[in-house]
Structure 1
Amino acid sequence: MAPERTIIQRIGSHQKFPCGINYGNGTKVRDGHTLIESLSIMYYLEETRPQRPLMPQDVLKRAKVREICEVIASGVQPLQNLIVLIHVGEEKKKEWAQHWITRGFRAVEKLLSTSAGKFCVGDEISLADCCLVPQVFNARRFHVDLRPYPIILRIDRELEGHPAFRAAHPSNQPDCPPEAAK
């Protein structure tokens, strides 16, 4: 089994789950099931551990959370995967990442302009926040100018001190590249 990663199981309590991504075999989660893709893992954890939900009860707010998660998971995050960046090449990696992060963050910022409260969707932490924070980390890693995204920055600042988000921060993971660590 791969090294442990901290996964936000429920805000207010985080646990270490042995998991490692191997696209041929998927990701093993604590219950022994094998899943692939971050969102399917997050939805699984949400549905199997309902004590502290990360999805709002309100149907429209739930849809907004999913909308933000999908924009990030489909339009921002995959374009920064190692295999994609290797294909792009070292000389164009930063430019490529900046382009796609900027494009995705424009869309996310627009969505947040109508859904955000203290966090991405209202005043409760949701799965959308769990998707956003790692992408802000990547944006900083690739030196994206974040000034055009004041809502994203405000939400990230709000979450950076939360114990579960601190523990799950990419720089606190065993496979974090040294150049990306805090």
Structure 2
Amino acid sequence: MEKVNTLELIEQLKTNKRAKTVLQQDFVQWIAGKAGTYTHAVTLTFPFEVTDADEVEKYLAFFSRKINSECCRRPKEEEKVKMALVIHGINSSKKLHVHAAIQSPDKISSIEMSRRIKKSWHKALHHKRAIVDIKTYDDDGWIGYISKEFTLTNTRGISQYCNF
């Protein structure tokens, strides 16, 4: 598969209606191939009303900083936790929430990484309790699931805090 950058792919999704399904499949393969081996399939929710994607991005910025500091004191770019973050519910009646595929650093066990993910999300929400669903990532089906809301008019679900 030819390498495609995120902005090119988004523009193609917006302009090429007939190729939508193929492009979404390419996007899934691109994300799955970029991060190597994900270890955690995660759903992050909010215990309060969140009204738009920009507000979600603010929480994801804090989460990203916290998870990286939890895993490495001052991480260099190549040491940062690899994550694919997708915001769901932007163009629907669902409550906004985040799906993620996260790759645990080699030195951290799966159980410890799950604890750090929960702790980081809890801190990002200013210590408010929220449901954090974490499962073992075992195939590319999770990436397909988290990208299901991408359409020609909704490509905004891809968080700017993805790091892969």
Larger relative helix fraction: 1
TM-score (norm 2): 0.28
TM-score (norm 1): 0.26
Larger relative strand fraction: 2
Relative contact order (C-alpha < 8 Å, sep 6+): which is higher? 2
